[in-house]
Structures are given as C-alpha cells and as structure tokens.
Amino acid sequence: MNNSKNKKISINEITGARKFVLDLLLKAQKNNSFSNILLDKALENSYMSSHDKALACTLFYGVIEKRITLDYQIAKLSSRPIDTIDATTLCALRMGLYQLIFLDKIPAHAAIYESVELCPKKSAGFANAILRAFTRSEGVAYPSEDDYAEHLSVRFSVGKALCEKFIAAYGKERATSILAAFDETPPTTLRINTLKTNTQKWMQSAKDAELCALAKNAVKIHGSVRSAYGFEDGFFFVQDEASQLCVKALEAREDQIVMDICACPGSKSFGAAINMNNKGEVYAFDLHAKKLSLIESGAKRLGIDIIRIAECDGRKFLPEFSERADRVLCDVPCSGFGVLAKKPELRYKDPSESAQLPTIQYDILSNASRYVKQGGMLVYSTCTVFPEENEDNINKFLAEHPEFVLSPFKSGNLICEKGYVTLLPDEHHTDGFFIARLKRV
C-alpha cells in the first residue's frame, strides 16, 4: 500500500526499515501468517521512528500485494529459474523492484544499494545485475493478452485461477475494471457514532475527512484511525461503507430484538445498536470465543450497553430464540474475494479452497431463519462477489422456504428493488459485498 511522502528519501532513512521488512517478509512466507497481524505485532516491539515505520508499512504491504508482478519481472531478467533463488535474495529483489517500479520518491541508486546490501554475499552480484538491468529496460513487462487471465494475473498481481473466475463471472472488460479498482489503496471508512455526536458536527472538527456517497453516517479518512478526532471518546468506529449499507438494510429500530449470528469483530452489532438509539436487545454470537472480547471493548468505547455476547456456531439452533427476533443478520463466513484491496493474502488464494463455503453459508442462513418472527427481517451478506456464495444461496433458500420473500431496500442513491445487490469497487467505490433482505410473511 503506497503511503510514501512527497519528499525525497535518502539512503540513511531507508536503512532504518530495510532489515525489519526483510525479516517480516521471510517470516510471513515461512509461517503463512496474516500480514496485518504480523506487522502490527512487530511494529509494537519496534523502536523505529514514525517515518521509518511508515516506510516499513509501505514496503511490507507493497511487496506482498505485488508479488506476482515482481516475480514476473525477476524471471524475465534472471539467468536462473526463480525457484532456484534463495528466499533472502528473492525477498530483497522484490523489495528493490517494488521501490524502482512503485515508489518514485526513492532514488534508484538508493533502492538498488539497500536491496543488494540485504543479500547474502554470494548472491549480491546477481541481485545487483538484476536490479540494474531493470533500470535499463523498457519498464514493467506483462504477458500477452492472448492468455488474458495470465495477463491480468501479472498486471494486477492476482492468482491466475482467481482471474479466470472473475472473467467467467463478469467478462473480460468488467473483470479488468474490478481488478483495477482492487489495485487502488482504499481510504479508511468510519461510521460516526450518533449516540455521542452527529456527522456534521464531527466533520467540523476532523481533518482531511470526506462524506461517503451512499451511507448516511459514513466518512472517509486517509490518516491514522487512532489519531482521528474523537477516537478515545468513541465518536466513531471503523466500518466499510458496504458493511454500513448492510446494517441500513436491517433497519433495526428502538426496542427490537436483533440477532447478529456471525458477529465478530462487531461493527454490524455496533451499527444496529446505534440505529436503535441503544434501546432494545442485540445478541451477538460468534463461533470464536476469543474474538468476542473485541465486541465488549468496542461497545464500551462507543457507549453501547444493549449488546449481549455468546459463543455459538451459527448452524446450531437455539430454541429459546425460536421466532423471537425482529431482525436477524447473517454476515456469513465467506471467501473474502470482495476485499482484495485490504487483505493482500487473498490475492493468491485458490478459489477451489472455498468450494465448501456455500454449503456452510446455506446451513447458517437456514438455521438463522428460524429465529425470525412473522413480519420480521432477515439480512444475508458476504464480502465476496461470486454468485455461488450469494445469489445462488438466496435462490435456493427461497425455493425451500416459501415463508420468506425478498424485500426491496434503499440507502441514499442506492435503490435495491430486487431485494438484493452486489456492490463492486469499480461502480460503488466500496468493498465487494453482497446484501439480500428477506421478510418473513
């Protein structure tokens, strides 16, 4: 994620971050760790300056996000197969090429020098030759469009199998547009906590914030969340606009009973409770007990006291809630292919690994429907953009549950007359997301 500053960066400034990033990249590769968790923990234990930390974030996320693109360039320039290059040298080459291609504020000589310094002595000459050869080349190379999936894979650094899936679902032109949107670094989106302030008042005190287009109390910022106005006071929480639209579709009201079946980390439960003016009952369940503390701490910061948490598998029926809930939300576990811009590891995930998810999702949806009272609403959502996890599940559910019908909803300029919508980053400027609203009749 390119967060580079406008001023030139010297060799000495780079030195503070280079070994730190290399070690993290090697650890992430070896342990198959989530990049954000690994980086956050490492930064907490680091004594680097804030400037070096920012550069480390840029390099670390950037190399992970652009791995396929970078490796293609290395393979083109190398005299030896890429799978024979040792891990340290390969990571150092990726870092060097990332700086040469994507960080125009770092001088080429600095990027090359620092990267070669990271390599073992026996491969330093090899790495130096590769990086200098790139500076003499015509720039970034891509495969021919004859194999369009391969072309997209290298162009946007997304696994070929996933590119093939996007093409199959959306066609070449739209797939290209969607992947290009995922390639942009998104701003952070906040939901303003109207229990403590209002959006207009918060905007007057905030810096570099802008209103979102679709969700009423959504704002975008480009800086640090913790340094944004009112964090400690609970004036907002982080929630993508698509997720906020999902909560809007739920239309939770004062004194209602709301169930959030797969609740962690809690943003939708928070949004529902705020829309209810902190009056009523919100039951937040999740399979992972360790994550429930996130909901407790978040609710406390936001001044919400109507959320009740409990560990529960969404497929397990809770008879005490049978037909009791006014609103039920099923934000089910999914492949996550709508958030490639925020979770770089998902770029390389093989879609076949998600083959069992639609069955699990459907089982959660069917079980959750048993909690909805007559006239109540059931909202189904995912952060993916493919039909087998979205429309196909809803169509199957409607065929087997005639007591439910799709219910139209709207938010701002977004009008969902069919009762469902797939949000896409190139069109709606949100995460890729699916929302369906069903009413029990």
Q: Establish whether 416 is a catalytic residue.
A: no
Residue 76 vs residues 69, 72, 73, 340: alpha-carbon distances, Å: 11, 6, 5, 26
pTM: 0.91
Architecture, CATH, for domain 11-136: Orthogonal Bundle (1.10)
- Alpha-carbon dihedral of residues 115, 120, 125, 129, nearest 10 degrees? -40
Burial 194-206 (b: 16+ CB within 10 A, else e): bbbbebeebeeeb
For residues 157 and 341, give the distance between their C-alpha atoms in angstroms, rounded to a whole number. 11
The strand pairing partners of 436, in sequence order, are 380, 420
Give the pLDDT of the chain (441 residues) as one tens digit per residue: 444 434 343 334 445 688 899 999 998 888 776 787 788 888 887 778 878 888 888 899 999 999 999 999 999 999 899 999 999 999 999 999 999 999 988 899 999 999 999 999 999 999 999 999 999 999 999 999 999 999 999 999 999 999 999 999 999 999 999 999 999 999 999 999 999 999 999 999 998 899 999 999 999 998 889 889 999 999 999 999 999 999 999 999 999 999 999 999 999 999 999 999 999 999 999 999 889 999 999 999 999 999 999 999 999 999 999 999 999 999 999 999 999 999 999 999 999 999 999 999 999 999 999 999 999 999 999 999 999 999 999 999 999 999 999 999 998 889 999 999 999 999 999 999 999 999 999
For residues 242 and 336, give the distance between their C-alpha atoms in angstroms, rounded to a whole number. 13
Instruction: Considering the chain, tell me which residue range(s) the CATH 1.10.940.10 domain(s) occupy.
Output: 11-136
For residues 321 and 316, give the distance between their C-alpha atoms in angstroms, rounded to a whole number. 12
Check residue 123 and give its pLDDT: 94
| Per annotation, catalytic residue among 246, 312, 330, 383 | 383
Query: At 310, is the secondary structure helix, strand, or coil?
Result: strand
Residues in the chain: 441
CA quadruple 284, 216, 248, 1: dihedral positive or negative? negative
Q: Long-range contacts: 365-368, Cβ < 8 Å, 24+?
A: 365/330, 365/332, 365/393, 365/397, 366/397, 366/400, 366/401, 367/314, 367/315, 367/316, 367/317, 368/259, 368/261, 368/314, 368/328, 368/330
Check residue 16 and give its pLDDT: 64
Number of H helices, E strands in the chain: 16, 14
Six-digit token string for 326? 């006014």
Q: Does domain 243-440 have CATH number 3.40.630.30?
A: no
Instruction: Considering the chain, tell me which residue range(s) the CATH 3.40.50.150 domain(s) occupy.
Output: 243-440
Check residue 12 and give its pLDDT: 43
The strand pairing partners of 259, in sequence order, are 283, 328
The strand pairing partners of 384, in sequence order, are none
Query: At 320, is the secondary structure helix, strand, or coil?
Result: helix
For residues 167 and 187, give the distance between their C-alpha atoms in angstroms, rounded to a whole number. 27
Cβ-contact 290, 266 below 8 angstroms: no
For residues 296 and 290, give the distance between their C-alpha atoms in angstroms, rounded to a whole number. 11
Where are the extended beta strands (E) located within 166-279?
Answer: 188-192, 209-211, 218-221, 236-238, 256-260
